[in-house]
Amino acid sequence: MQNIDEAKLIAHSINGDNEAYAEVVNRYKNAVYYHCFAIVRDEDVAQDIAQDTFISAFYNLNRYDNKYRLSTWLFKISTNKCLNYLKKKGKEVAADDKLITAIASREPSPHNQALYSELHNAVQVLQPKYQAVISLHYWQGLDYAATAEVMGAPINSVRVWLKRAKEELRKELI
C-alpha cells in the first residue's frame, strides 16, 4: 500500500478499504500530531485531537475536494478542532519568527533546545489563531495560499496574522 498514490488510497478508503485508510493515517499522523501540539501545547490533548481529526476525516472522505492536497484538508480539520478546544479551555498560545526557523529544523542541538525552551515560555502570550497560522506556515511548511485555505481566511489575513503574531512575540521575548 505504501506505493499507492494519495488519490487511489482515498478512493479505496471511501469504498471501505480500512487498510487503505490505515495507510493514509500512517502517512500523515506525525505531521497532524505536531501541528496539534504546536497549537495546544499538551501532548495528550494533541494526540486526542489528532486521532479525532482522522476519525472525522474518515467519516467525511466523500466531502474531500481533491483539488487540494490531503494534508491541507487534514490540517484544516485539526486546526478547527484545536481552536475549538482552546476556545473551550480559554488557553492562548504563541510562536516567534527567529525561533521558528530553529525549531522547524527539528535538530536537537543544545542551541535549538534552548530556543525551543524559550519559545515554550513565551507560548501563552498570543491568540490561538496566531499560533495556528504560525504552525501551519512555518512548522508545517504550507505556503500562504494553503495556510489561508486551512484557516478559512484570505491570504492577506494570513500575512497580517503572521506579522502581528511575530510583533507581539518579539515584544514578549525582548
3.40.1280.10, 3.40.640.10, 3.30.9.30, 1.10.1740.10: CATH of 1-90: 1.10.1740.10
Q: Report the percentage of the chain scoring pLDDT > 70.
A: 76
Q: At CA 136, angle to CA 17 and CA 32, rounded to 5?
A: 30
Cβ pair 43, 37 in contact under 8 A = yes
Look at residue 95 in the predicted model and tell me its pLDDT. 41
Quick one: angle between helices 97-104 and 155-173, nearest 10? Answer: 100
Look at residue 89 in the predicted model and tell me its pLDDT. 78
3.40.50.300, 1.10.10.10, 3.40.50.20, 1.20.1250.20: CATH of 92-174: 1.10.10.10
DSSP state of 110: H
Cβ pair 136, 150 in contact under 8 A = yes
Look at residue 1 in the predicted model and tell me its pLDDT. 57
Look at residue 111 in the predicted model and tell me its pLDDT. 53
Look at residue 78 in the predicted model and tell me its pLDDT. 94
| Domain boundaries, given as residue ranges, for the chain | 1-90, 92-174
Q: How many residues does the chain have?
A: 174
DSSP state of 108: -
**What digits encode the pLDDT tens for the residues 71-127?**
989 999 999 998 889 888 764 433 444 445 544 454 555 555 666 666 655 545 677
Query: Side chain identity at 62, as an amino acid letter?
Result: N
Cell match 504560525: residue?
Answer: 134
